[in-house]
Structure 1
Amino acid sequence: MTAPGLFITLEGGDGSGKTTQASLLREWLESEGRVVVRTREPGGTEVGVLVRDIVLHHRGEVSPRAEALLYAADRAHHIATVVRPALERGEVVIQDRYLDSSVAYQGAGRVLGRDEIRDLSLWATEGLLPELTVLLDLDPATARTRLDAADKPFDRLEAERDEFHERVRAEYLALAAAEPERFLVLDASLPAEQIAGEVRARVTALLSQ
């Protein structure tokens, strides 16, 4: 009998350390003998790569509603072709961003509305939610300092004004408060290994259920 899969997502503003934590979690899980699929949204499929280029790097204007629909279209394809098959095989999926990103960035950041964006994503994914969502919380000023230090061009969302990123952060924290059983909120300014230890503790508990 195939062991049940586990769906883990990482959320937070740009510069919060999601990539680092995804790598550390994958290394640990593989050392424990688990098969891991590491992916991201957008960009986890060939279709997603095209969508990512449009929503993050397109030089022309993309209207807020069109942006939200593009993310939802990518999400529908990604879940159907990558995530659900992996979970059905009993694998652990570690994913950088999921529907909570859309609720935070398009729902709050673009002021399109939490419920509308959440409902759109749930329809696109046939209601799939992660067993665990790790929210790496970091104030936008610190995040901007980290992004500046990376010395690379900002994408369309990274380049938004401070007020946009404040709305995004507030929405993430509101989402976590509404679903404490799914979210693990961690201070992203802490050392990476300390954060990774707290993530491993929660994942260990989930795997033992």
Structure 2
Amino acid sequence: MTAQGHFISFEGIDGSGKSTQARLLADHLRAQGHDVVLTREPGGSPGAEEIRALVLQGDPDRWSAETELLLFTAARRDHMERLIAPSLAAGKIVICDRFADSTRMYQGLSRGDLRATVDALHELMIGREPDLTILIDMDPGEGLARAKGRQGSEERFEDFGADLQAAMRAGFLSLAEEFAARFRVIGGADEVDTIAANVQDTVAAFLADRSDAASLL
């Protein structure tokens, strides 16, 4: 029987360092002998990457919140079908930089009162939550400064400004309370190596608990 896979997502405001921590965790787990898939949203599959370019580039008002929600859900469906679900079925650890919780924040709360619609679409078209979500918590002002300092082409959401960042942080912390069973909050103000060690400890405890539960089946 193939061992169960594990689905871990990273969340946080722009500039929180979650992408760096997702990569460091993937490197750490691979060094321990785990089969790891590191991916991101929006994106992660060819079709989803095409949608990523549509939603993350261009004028901040390019899409309505409703249109964004449909685009993100389409990208996530393709990502799930072509990469996440097959990898989990093969017993791999999937680490995803953002997942549905980001949609709950950006399109569900911060850009309109669409949370119920986000959840309904997610249940209908995706039907899967991560097993563990690591929220890297960061001061909104510092996070925005970091994000703008990257000077990349995918800055559409950063261009909404500090108010959105503050709303996002509050929203993510609220989600961590709502889904307390799968969320772990880790401070993002420490040095990168310190944060990485905290993430590694958190994931080690999670994997041990999953292993213990599986042994009882």
User: Under TM normalisation by the shorter chain, which class is it?
Assistant: over 0.9
Match of 2:118 in 1: 117
**1:55 to 1:151, Cα distance in 2 relative to 1, 3 A:** closer
Cα distance in 2 for residues equivalent to 1:46 and 1:157: 22
Aligned length: 208
What secondary structure is seen at the aligned counterpart in 2 of 1:37?
strand
1:133 alignment partner AA: T
Match of 1:149 in 2: 149
Cα distance in 2 for residues equivalent to 1:183 and 1:50: 29
1:29 alignment partner AA: L
Cα distance in 1 for residues equivalent to 2:150 and 2:13: 15
Asked whether the equivalents of residues 104 and 169 of structure 1 are also in contact (C-alpha less than 8 Å), the reply is no
1:111 alignment partner AA: G
Alignment of 1:37-48 (within 5 A): 37-48=37-48
Match of 1:15 in 2: 15
Match of 1:201 in 2: 201
Alignment of 1:165-176 (within 5 A): 165-176=165-176
Deviating more after overlay: 59-68 vs 179-188: 59-68
Cα distance in 1 for residues equivalent to 2:162 and 2:154: 14
Pair 1:78 & 2:79 matched: yes
1:65 alignment partner AA: E
Asked whether the equivalents of residues 12 and 136 of structure 1 are also in contact (C-alpha less than 8 Å), the reply is yes
1:77-136 Cα distance to aligned partner (Å, 9 max, x none): 1111100100000000000000000001111110233222122123221x2111110001
Overall identity of the aligned pairs, in % = 38
Cα distance in 1 for residues equivalent to 2:162 and 2:149: 17
TM-fit CA distance, 1:45:
1.0
Gaps of 5+ in 1: none
* Structure 1 consecutive aligned stretches of length 4 or more whose deviation exceeds 4 Å: none
Pair 1:51 & 2:20 matched: no
Gaps of 5+ in 2: 212-217
Asked whether the equivalents of residues 65 and 112 of structure 1 are also in contact (C-alpha less than 8 Å), the reply is no
Cα distance in 2 for residues equivalent to 1:157 and 1:149: 14
Q: TM-score, normalization: structure 2?
A: 0.90
